[in-house]
Amino acid sequence: MNTEQGYLSTALIRPLLEVVGPQFFDESLDDSGAIQRVFKQLRDPDGRINADDADFLITRLIQSAHNESLCVQPAHKFNAHTSCQLQHLFLCCNTLREALYYLEKFSTLLCSQLEVQVTRTRDNVIKVKLPVADNAILSTQRHRTEIIISTLLNWLKQLCGKEMQINQIALPFPATQYSQQYEQAWSTQIQFNSDECSIQFHSKWLDEGLHNTNPHILNMMKREVEEQYRKLARSGSLAERIRKALMQQKIRMNANQQEVADYFHISARTLNRHLHREATSLKQIVTHVRIETAKSMLINTDENIEQIALSIGLSGRRTLDRIFIKEMQQSPAQFRLDHRVTPVLRVVNG
């Protein structure tokens, strides 16, 4: 499949098929095209489905079940038939901290748009943050979000036990007609219309001793997931993945080729070959990210240009001036002057 078009893991879809039951297959026997193509792909729990096909199938499942809240699933028992390798690795971890590390690193195995970030607040609340799509309020994107959150909650409960408490779930869309189903299925408070999408719980769960997995089994599972991730990186736009990792500070701005290659579990030679095929280079990608980050900071912060240069991994203002002028045909100072909203305008607009 062409991963440039976007995809969902079959592991996200298969539990819905079990809920709807075998009648869905009977109803769809005469269908051709997308639905039959997806049926074949669903046989592999580690497979991935084109995003458009997945959305089509989810819509059909909801219609068949006559249940708009179908994608809001409660935690259920582990099922080897529908589980994927990333889930196996997650459940093999001896602490939740370790499991979240792997989830953050390999989350794109579940969905092309899924770049999980794990953060900690001053109140010792852990947030497992999902990206907020521009079309978050559309039903297809909402259903994807519901499926992913249901899946991650299920994994958390399977790893930590039923006693684990989720403090809150923040959703980036308005309350739906089936809003009560969220609290009932997910057993926590729901915040709608949030500026983020996150699962929140207390940090005390991070290092709870869960079990002692045989290290050989854990390493075996890690190798399996890394191999899947390596294949995925090779089949998609590596440049875009590097850009996202840099923007999310998963890779240092000053990282060398070997460090970047190690992050994606490929060799430096393979890294260069793929970037050459995509008509770019690591230096070009890093420069682009630095310029975009500098532009945002020039507009949205009060930091001086020297501080901005240092924060994006440059030696100082002179270096930022040079690359910025080459890229934007104006200096950072002039860019800030041209684009920043003045305090007077802020008061007027406020």
pLDDT tens figures, 169-216: 999 999 999 999 999 999 999 999 999 999 999 999 998 777 777 777
Residue 323 lies in a domain: yes
d(CA 241, CA 113): 11
Same domain membership, residue 241 and residue 201: no
Same domain membership, residue 8 and residue 123: yes
Count of domains observed in the chain: 2
How large is the average pLDDT for residues 310-338?
91
d(CA 92, CA 337): 53
50-74 confidence digits (pLDDT tens): 888 889 889 989 988 899 999 999 9
Residue 230 lies in a domain: no
Element (DSSP H or E) covering residue 91: helix 85-92
65-105 confidence digits (pLDDT tens): 899 999 999 988 887 777 899 999 999 898 999 999 999 98
Residue 219 lies in a domain: no
Residue 226 lies in a domain: no
Residue 347 lies in a domain: yes
Same domain membership, residue 269 and residue 347: yes
d(CA 145, CA 156): 16
Residue 69 lies in a domain: yes
Same domain membership, residue 263 and residue 148: no
Which CATH number is 285's domain given? 1.10.10.60
pLDDT at 346 over 60: no
* β-strand partners of 168: 189, 200
d(CA 219, CA 157): 23
Domain that holds residue 348: 237-350
Place of tokens 């592999």: 44
Residue (of 275, 232, 273) closest to 3 by Cα position? 232
